[in-house]
Structure 1
Amino acid sequence: MKSYLQNFKRFRPLLEELVARDVKIKYRRSVLGVLWTLLNPLFMMIILSVVFSNLFKFDVENYSLYILSGQVVFNFFSGATTDAMSAIFGNASLIKKVYVPKYLFVVSRVFSSFINLLASFTALLLVMIATRAELHWTVLLVPIPMLLLVVFSLGVGLVLSAITVKFRDIMHLYTVFTTALLYLTPVIYPMSILPSWLYKIVMLNPLTPMLMMFRNVMINNTLIDIPTLLITLVETIAMFLIGLYVFYKNQDDFILNL
């Protein structure tokens, strides 16, 4: 762990360049560029609101904000982990030429997705202002669920990037997984409509308490539940440590499979 921190400080300028490169590549030849990060969740919010608003209108107040807040959280996790999968073999030419701590490529993908997260968060704030939703002081607590989300996504990204170097089929399987995960995360539907057995299953999803904390501080003017925070913190740290372990155990074999 100490060596990771030392290398992180030493190669921080390179990490900054990698993050900037990832952002530029993502929006290269795009007329609107990073504005799509704001427009995409807004368009999806409009579509989903039209489709599902009548279905859930008695269970959720300001359903458009409910959907958009769910998208902000889930889209970051899905995008960050998906991008992290190709972080190693996508930089094979550089890895083969010079020594660079390989985990930096994964970190850069997650950090570039974090920039998109901030843009999506801005879109959420704009919608709250446009719909005259009240901004409560609990918004100041939003860095807590966001930080948990970023660290958890980094842990998952480290595992995926290490495995995908050898098993490229993971990329295709992960698309199916994220689709299933979307329906096991209360992005579109309220938890109140779920039967008890399904409620318990959805709560086992680590993204669910993160999303609920995010919505509580952003929309519901509710403080973060301490027991839920502690459980989520343990899950996040565990996932991050697992990610470091898996990555460390496999990184010496990357060059053989690139």
Structure 2
Amino acid sequence: MSLLSVFVKYRDLIGQLVSRDIKTKYRRSILGLLWTVLNPLLMMTVLSIVFSYFFSRYGNIDNFPVYLLCGQLIFNFFNESTSIAMGSIVHSGELIKKVYVPKYLFPISKVLSSGVNLLSSMAALVIVMVVTRARVTPTVLLALFPLLYVLLFSTGVSLFLSAAAVSFRDLMHLYSVITTAWMYLTPVIYPMEILENAPSWVVFIVNANPMTGFIKIFRCVVLEGVTAPAMLHVQSLIWCAAALLVGSFVFKKSQDSFILKI
């Protein structure tokens, strides 16, 4: 509730921070925000050419480019938002020392700026669905739920990481290794059927992985045209609540010491 009240009270400032982040990211870029569409399209093209051959024997994937892009969009948002939010307190040290601003705003603004990029990247998914003549059903409107889940989960993780990075700067270098391992334990590229002969502990981790649930729900409503099982939504909400509670708690307990460490 404290986090929500900060968000409502300082919504104008958050909007300015988000706008600044987006402008800074695409400053002096000829194509600017268009890269949010081109990047996933180019990556999807390369990965589809490579992996569609290897996974061709799994015939239950009717539209591999859309299958792949659904996983990419969700995981890439999580990866980008948490990575840039992790250093938000450290990199805003001068401002924090000079002016009182609720420190929650810095990681939250980073997540929201990545959220704007995610919404722009959805245009790439629309293009691929049109080109591949994917079946579009009314369930596509339910895509808002997995997008909201990954936004909330990323916010909680970002709050935790941004607080932890103030005391443990090495985390900012180690995190890319963690997210790489996390990606391979998430069915972004490969179909779940490929795990049939995998060790049981690998199957357990992949199924328990919160990102797996978000991506499954997104693929259900976008690619398969069906509503996702209720249990997936329940599990996703539990992960979101846990991430927000832990992230907010750690951030609140640590924020008074930020000014001494940045």
TM range (shorter): over 0.9
Query: Quick one: distance in 2 between partners of 1:5 and 1:119?
Result: 25
Identical aligned pairs, as a percentage?
A: 51
Partner-residue secondary structure (3-state), 2:75:
helix
Match of 1:233 among 234, 237, 248: 237
| Divergent runs of 4+, >4 A | none
Match of 1:242 in 2: 246
Query: Quick one: distance in 1 between partners of 2:218 and 2:5?
Result: 32
Query: Quick one: distance in 2 between partners of 1:210 and 1:58?
Result: 25
Q: C-alpha displacement at 1:172, in angstroms?
A: 0.9
1:29-178 mapped onto 2 (5 Å cutoff): 29-59=28-58, 60-178=61-179
Query: Quick one: distance in 2 between partners of 1:66 and 1:27?
Result: 28
Query: Quick one: distance in 1 between partners of 2:115 and 2:85?
Result: 12
Query: Quick one: distance in 2 between partners of 1:8 and 1:65?
Result: 34
Match of 1:211 in 2: 215
RMSD, aligned α-carbons: 1.1
Confirm or deny: 8 A CA contact 1:217 1:223 kept in the other structure.
Answer: yes
Query: Quick one: distance in 2 between partners of 1:11 and 1:120?
Result: 27
Q: C-alpha displacement at 1:140, in angstroms?
A: 0.9
Q: C-alpha displacement at 1:124, in angstroms?
A: 0.3
Q: C-alpha displacement at 1:4, in angstroms?
A: 3.4
Query: Quick one: distance in 1 between partners of 2:235 and 2:50?
Result: 34
Confirm or deny: 8 A CA contact 1:184 1:202 kept in the other structure.
Answer: yes
Per-residue CA deviations over 1:100-138 (Å, capped at 9, x if unaligned) read 000101110000000011011121011101211111111
Query: Quick one: distance in 1 between partners of 2:139 and 2:83?
Result: 31
What is the count of residue pairs matched by the alignment?
257
Per-residue CA deviations over 1:164-219 (Å, capped at 9, x if unaligned) read 01111001110000111110000110001103613222011110011000001000
Match of 2:180 in 1: 179
Q: C-alpha displacement at 1:44, in angstroms?
A: 0.5
* Gap regions ≥5 residues in structure 2: none
AA of the residue aligned to 1:41: P
Q: C-alpha displacement at 1:9, in angstroms?
A: 2.4
* Gap regions ≥5 residues in structure 1: none
Confirm or deny: 8 A CA contact 1:185 1:207 kept in the other structure.
Answer: yes
Confirm or deny: 8 A CA contact 1:217 1:224 kept in the other structure.
Answer: yes
Partner-residue secondary structure (3-state), 1:29:
coil
Confirm or deny: 8 A CA contact 1:185 1:205 kept in the other structure.
Answer: yes
State the TM-score, normalizing by the size of structure 2. 0.95
Partner-residue secondary structure (3-state), 2:92:
helix
State the TM-score, normalizing by the size of structure 1. 0.97
Query: Quick one: distance in 2 between partners of 1:5 and 1:44?
Result: 36
Confirm or deny: 8 A CA contact 1:191 1:199 kept in the other structure.
Answer: no
Query: Quick one: distance in 1 between partners of 2:227 and 2:103?
Result: 39
Q: C-alpha displacement at 1:162, in angstroms?
A: 0.2
Match of 1:193 in 2: 194
Partner-residue secondary structure (3-state), 1:177:
helix
Confirm or deny: 8 A CA contact 2:146 2:214 kept in the other structure.
Answer: yes
AA of the residue aligned to 2:37: L
Match of 1:26 in 2: 25
AA of the residue aligned to 1:204: A
